[in-house]
Amino acid sequence: MERETAERLAALHRELAAVYQGLAKESDLARSDSVVSLIEAATRLGVTRSWLCRAPNWRAVGGYRGADRRIHFPLSALSTYANAHKR
């Protein structure tokens, strides 16, 4: 009986370790996505600042309004948009 319990406990520890490892990978991915300002995003995309200032456009690119009320763009969103709209 004790051996079964010890084996089950060991199996649960392995499962828990796998879950923690998965969470660590997700956390690393989230941290690696830097955010840039509207001006830098316009430069990277090759569009004018006035075009990117319009809400439908910055939303389509993947921007969001931060707590500071400024528009921010994750680099991953800029890359996705640029790849989809290659000229």
pLDDT greater at residue 80 or residue 19: 80
Residue-level pLDDT at 15? 85
Residue at 69: amino acid letter: R
**Cα distance between residue 64 and residue 57, in whole Å:** 11
Report the alpha-carbon distance of residue 86 to residue 82 in Å, rounded.
6
Three-state secondary-structure class, residue 35? strand
* Arithmetic mean of pLDDT over the chain: 86
What CATH code would you report for 33-84?
1.10.1660.10
Higher-confidence residue of 28 and 49: namely 49
pLDDT tens by residue, 4-40: 888 888 888 888 777 777 766 655 555 557 999 999 9
Q: Confirm if 72 and 66 have CB atoms less than 8 A apart.
A: yes
pLDDT grade, residue 44 (50/70/90)?
very high
